[in-house]
Structure 1
Amino acid sequence: MTRILSIMHEFPAETDRGTLHLMSQGFEVEEIRPYLGEALPDLTDDIAGVKIQGGAQFVSDLEAFPYLRDEAEFARAVMERGIPLLGICLGGQLIAHVLDATVDYHPEENVALGYYPLRPTGAGLDWFPEEFIVLAANAQGFDCPAGATLLAAGDVFPNQAFIYGDRTIAFQFHPEVTRPMLDRWQQELSHNIGKPGTQSVEEQNRGFDLHNETLGAWYFDFLDRFF
């Protein structure tokens, strides 16, 4: 098994570091963009894993994004086949939705944009260091689905990671982001800066300088273990 499917929700000018790492490890990473009308592929035996990336769409508004319904059914099929499945931010929310958990805005209208402490649960210590700072950028969050195990909590959005079975993991945070990606987000998401829960650009830049290398090294180790 040599292929990793990466389900995309935007067309960035740069490749995320998770994809770059998987390619360096010998995987063929196939990017699929359903929002552009690209068809989701058949689940063949050469697929080693699937990652569903983040994006600006909202799972709570599926009528506006009908291709997300197709992605939800695809994610369900991936889980039924026992193929490792990773969801990041929107991708994690989509997995939560498939598992009948609520995905919605923060009840106090908080928005996450910056670097925040991640607090592993007892089960989460098998995946995360006890002291860990991660990048988050989201206006919605997920409840932990029934039958899943919460792996990590956060301050702005309480649920940051869960595992379902042993081959499906959802993150609310963003370990994949490079400096060019953060630069672009700081422009595209500038309307959120100043909302409750967000950090200033200066705080985000300090967070990147302090924590990016550790976060990236952890993500590479995670991908090697998970896929």
Structure 2
Amino acid sequence: MSQNPTSTSNFPKTIYVIQHLAFEDLGSLEDIFYQLGYRVRYFEAGVEDLTQALEHDGLTVILGGPIGVYENQDYPFLDQEIALLKTRLSKQLPTLGICLGAQLIAYALGAKVYAGQYKEIGWSQIEIKDLPNNILLPLKNVEVLHWHGDTFELPENAELLASSKYYPHQAFQLGNNILALQFHIEVLEESLEKWLIGHTCEIRKADLSIQQLREDNRKYASHLEQSCAEVIQIFLKQINAN
């Protein structure tokens, strides 16, 4: 990463991260946060109590996972996670959601989350909406990683930031502090092999080429890592401006 960023945060220096699957971690975001002077603490959903993470005054990141927001009968921990998230969002505490995390934010804000008609897995560009100061402008003409089958309606008062060919709601923001990304901005080139192993059943069921996913990762991931750093720094500046 070419940047040599410095942190100007006026909120807690620890970032809490809710993880739903062991190999879906912060990826490139982790190094970005460390370079900005933050500490990172992970919480394992379904194993640990998420109260501390979701009542945190600083930034909380909610990562992806293969389960659906609506599968609470099979995964009862979702009820607590959603209830705590509703309270968190009502206070407009700094929150970033990625993939399942974005779906949880949408659901907690009252929007419908449901299974889509197409499994969107692989690298492609998103349509960045023509908005003043769109936080995702660094991703224009950049391939990002998609890995989802669920989608969501746009929550009330949320601003749509990006769309894709199959799913119109790829990213939204609510005020300065709440950002939800359906796609994976955080993927790290050197770590995707863990995804290819862990998601092998899903990949084969979707009749996708593991070799192609691997090749596309080599082709696109490093550029995404650079753009990801720009996006997250813009987001942190927005939070700090409050």
Identify the TM-score tier after normalising by the shorter chain.
Answer: 0.7 to 0.9
Q: Distance in 2 between matches of 1:40 and 1:194?
A: 37
Change (3 A) 1:12 1:191: closer
4+ aligned runs moved over 4 Å, structure 1:
none
Q: Does 1:208 align with 2:202?
A: no
Q: How much is the aligned-residue C-alpha RMSD, in angstroms?
A: 2.2
Provide the TM-score with structure 2 as the length reference: 0.82
| Per-residue deviation, 1:14 | 6.8
DSSP 3-state at the match of 1:146: coil
Q: Does 1:92 align with 2:67?
A: no
Q: Does 1:68 align with 2:78?
A: yes
1:104 pairs with 103, 114, 127, which one? 114
Q: Which residue of the partner structure matches residue 53 of structure 1?
A: 63
Structure 2 segments unaligned to the other structure (5+ residues):
1-11, 237-242
Change (3 A) 1:119 1:125: farther
Q: Does 1:150 align with 2:125?
A: no
Q: Does 1:187 align with 2:190?
A: no
Q: Does 1:5 align with 2:16?
A: yes
1:40 pairs with 51, 57, 66, which one? 51
DSSP 3-state at the match of 1:113: strand
DSSP 3-state at the match of 2:60: strand
Deviations 1:13-54 (A, max 9, x none): 97622123212321121111131133421735xx43111011
Q: Which amino acid in structure 2 is aligned with residue 86 of structure 1?
A: L
Q: Distance in 2 between matches of 1:28 and 1:217?
A: 21
Structure 1 segments unaligned to the other structure (5+ residues):
none
Deviations 1:87-106 (A, max 9, x none): 00000000010111111111
Pairing 1:11-30 to 2, within 5 Å after superposition: 11-12=22-23, 16-30=27-41
Answer whether contact 2:19 2:25 (CA < 8 A) is retained: no
Pairing 1:111-130 to 2, within 5 Å after superposition: 111-123=119-131, 126-129=134-137, 130=140
Q: Distance in 2 between matches of 1:40 and 1:31?
A: 13
Q: Which amino acid in structure 2 is aligned with residue 54 of structure 1?
A: G
Q: Distance in 2 between matches of 1:143 and 1:149?
A: 12
Q: Which amino acid in structure 2 is aligned with residue 22 of structure 1?
A: F
More displaced stretch, 81-90 vs 33-42: 33-42
Provide the TM-score with structure 1 as the length reference: 0.87
DSSP 3-state at the match of 1:41: helix
| Per-residue deviation, 1:142 | 1.6
Q: Distance in 2 between matches of 1:58 and 1:76?
A: 17
Q: Which amino acid in structure 2 is aligned with residue 51 of structure 1?
A: V
Answer whether contact 1:123 1:150 (CA < 8 A) is retained: no
Q: Distance in 1 between matches of 2:17 and 2:100?
A: 13
More displaced stretch, 90-99 vs 24-33: 24-33
More displaced stretch, 159-168 vs 17-26: 17-26
Q: Distance in 2 between matches of 1:86 and 1:76?
A: 14
Aligned pair count reads: 222
